[in-house]
Amino acid sequence: MDTTKKTIIVFSGDLDRVMAAFIIANGAAAMGDDVTMFFTFWGLNAIRKPENIKVKKSFLQWMFGKMMPRGADKLGISKMNFGGMGATMMKMVMKQQNVTPLPELIRTAKEQGIKMIACTMSMDVMGIREEELIDGLEFAGVATYLGEADEANVNLFI
């Protein structure tokens, strides 16, 4: 089988968009492709640990950290979220329809060897520290992303 490469920038932190990203990524990996996901800005929220980790931050970083959802299970949806009710409804329908929930999609991505990179510049801006993110990530910047994208035949920004 020919192995080709895909990259996905996960900029959005909306449940629906992040799920789309992981469904495409896992699909490609299942077909034998190398896949790199690059988490930046709000996308970092999808890979935060659910626990409150004590780390030093500036006041503004602390505020951003407080206001942003902590992890895959807390994300809202991009439309009709209504303070989280929309996300809950969507998760209920997904369960009815046997759609794999996001935390499991992330586990599968790791198991399939998908390279998950957290954008260090965004981490600085959002005030998110390595300890606050799930295990198994790499940490890098835009140059690394561009290097990966140059080797890929499909590059998406989600």
Residues forming the site for its own copies (CB under 8 A)? 4, 9, 11, 13, 16-17, 20, 23-24, 27-28, 31, 33, 40-42, 58, 60-61, 63-64, 67-68, 78-80, 89-90, 92-94, 96-97, 99, 121, 124-127, 141-143, 145-146, 149-150, 152-158
Question: What phi, psi does 20 have (nearest 5°)?
Answer: -55, -45
- Closest C-alpha among 110, 112, 114, 113 to residue 135: 110
- Tokens encoding 100: 């794999």
Is residue 21 within 8 A of residue 47, CB to CB? The reply is no
- CB closer to its own copies, 62 vs 136: 62
Q: C-beta of 60: minimal distance to its own copies in Å?
A: 5
In this structure, the strands spanning 115-119 and 138-140 are parallel
Strand, coil or helix: what is 144? helix
Using the minimum distance from each CB to its own copies, give the nearer residue, 136 or 146.
146
Q: How far is the CB of 103 from its own copies (least distance, A)?
A: 17
